[in-house]
Amino acid sequence: MRVLVTGGSGYVGSFVVRRLLEENHEVTVVDSLVNSLRPKFAEVHFYQVDVRDRVSVCAAASQSRPEAIIHCAGLKSVAESVEHPWVYYDVNLVGTLNVLAAAREAEVGHFVFSSSCSVYGSPQISPVGENAPTLPLSPYAHTKLAAENAIRTCAQALGTTFVNLRYFNAAGAAEDGSYGELVTRNTTQILPLAFMAALRQRPPLQLFGRDYPTYDGTAVRDYVHVEDLARAHVTALGSHGHRPQGTFNLGRGEGTSIGELLAAIERVSDLQVPVIDASRRAGDPIETWADTSFAKSELNWATQFDLEEIVRSAWRWHSGPSGKLTAVG
C-alpha cells in the first residue's frame, strides 16, 4: 500500500515507517524536522514540509497519491501547550485540518491519527475504556480531542474510514539500539529524562508528588513499547477489503508507578537516578491505565513487550553512541 506518514521522522513515526517498510509498503514522509532528524531510510520519499503550510501538504499528497495517511506530526509537551496554546492549536488542530484537506483532495480513503490518553483528563476509574468521559485538562489535550472530532466527522461526511489511536505512554527503543527517542529542548517523557539524569547528562529528575493515594505514593501510568505502537498503526491500516474504523486505546493495560519505573531503571542501568521531590502538577491524574479490549477484539492487537523490555531497550539506546548524540533544538 502507498502510505503517507506525517511526523514520520519523529519518535513514534520513525518506528511506524520502519515497520511499514519491513512489510513492503511504499512510504512518503512529511515532517518539518522541528523536533527530529531527517529519516534514515533511503527508500522513503521525504518532504520537509510544515503541516501548517496547506499548499505544500496538499502537493506532497497529490504527488505521492497515498491510499492511506498516518498522521503523527504534532507537538506533545503539555507544559509548552499551557505557555503557548496558540502554537498548539495551530500545529495540532490547523495542521490536522490541512492534512485532512490534503486527504480529501488526493481522495485518500483511510486516515490513522496519533491521539493521546490525555483526552480523558484525570480518569476516576482504571482501566480506562474508550467510552470513558473525555475531559481534557490542557491545551495539548484539547487540540488532540478537537483533531479527533474533525477526523471523525470529515470521514463520516466523505464516506471514508478513520482510526484514532489514543496512546498511553510511548516508551522504549529498538532492540538493537539503533532507534529511540530524541532528547529535545521540550522532552518531558520520564524515561529519557531519568536515564539522562542517571548518566549525569541532565539535571536530577523532578518527581512530581510522592503523596498520591497509590501503593507507593507516586503516580501510576501505563507504559507501552513503541514497537507495539508501531505494529498497531500498521494493523490499523487494514487491507483493501477491510479497513478498521473507530477509536482505540493503546497501552499495556497495566499500571506502573513512577517509583516502580525508577527502580527498574536503576536495576537495568546499575546507576542511581538522582531525584528532586516536587509538588504534584495540576491536572496530573493519580493513576491511569488502558482497557485495551477493543483494540484486541477489533484490531487483533495485543502488546508483546513488558516493562523490563521497555526499560532495557531504552537503556541500550540512551547509553549507546546514537542515544548520546541525539539532542536537537
Ligand X SMILES: NC(=O)c1ccc[n+]([C@@H]2O[C@H](COP(=O)([O-])OP(=O)(O)OC[C@H]3O[C@@H](n4cnc5c(N)ncnc54)[C@H](O)[C@@H]3O)[C@@H](O)[C@H]2O)c1
Q: Is 223 a catalytic residue?
A: no
Cβ contact 249:296 at 8 Å: no
222 burial class (0-12, 13-18, 19+ CB within 10 angstroms)? buried
Query: Comparing C-alpha atoms, which of 50, 58, 131 is closest to residue 95?
Result: 50
Give me the residue whose beta carbon is nearest to ligand X: 10
Chain position carrying cell 540512551:
318
- Which set of grid coordinates corresponds to residue 322? 546514537
Per CB under 6 A, the list member of 47, 162, 167, 315 interacting with ligand X is 167
Please give the Cα distance from 14 to 92 (Å, whole number).
Answer: 19
Beta-bridged to residue 76, according to DSSP, are none
Residue number, 150 or 271, with CB nearest to ligand X: 150
Phi-psi region of 53 (alpha: psi -120 to 50; beta: other; left: phi over 0): beta
Per CB under 6 A, the list member of 5, 31, 47, 227 interacting with ligand X is 31
- Supply the minimum distance, in Å, between the C-beta of residue 240 and ligand X: 26
Binding status of residue 76 toward ligand X by CB under 6 A: yes
Residue number, 174 or 240, with CB nearest to ligand X: 174
Binding status of residue 253 toward ligand X by CB under 6 A: no
Binding status of residue 287 toward ligand X by CB under 6 A: no
Phi-psi region of 307 (alpha: psi -120 to 50; beta: other; left: phi over 0): alpha
Where does this chain touch ligand X (CB under 6 A) — which range of 73-81, 120-128, 303-311, 312-320?
Answer: 73-81
Residue number, 92 or 160, with CB nearest to ligand X: 92
Q: Which of the residues 11, 47, 120, 140 is marked catalytic?
A: 140
Please give the Cα distance from 222 to 224 (Å, whole number).
Answer: 6
Where does this chain touch ligand X (CB under 6 A) — which range of 44-52, 239-247, 258-266, 300-308?
Answer: 44-52
CA distances from 123 to 60, 116, 127, 253, 255 (A): 39, 13, 9, 14, 13
Residue number, 76 or 231, with CB nearest to ligand X: 76
Query: Comparing C-alpha atoms, which of 263, 83, 286 is closest to residue 185?
Result: 83
- Supply the minimum distance, in Å, between the C-beta of residue 273 and ligand X: 19
Contact letters (x/-) for ligand X, 48-67, by CB under 6 A?
--xxx---------------
Residue number, 28 or 217, with CB nearest to ligand X: 28
Residue number, 74 or 177, with CB nearest to ligand X: 74
Beta-bridged to residue 28, according to DSSP, are 4, 45
Per CB under 6 A, the list member of 4, 10, 269, 285 interacting with ligand X is 10
Q: Please identify every residue annotated as catalytic.
A: 140
Chain residues that interact with ligand X, rule: CB under 6 A: 7, 9-13, 31-36, 50-52, 72-76, 91, 95, 114, 116, 167, 169-170
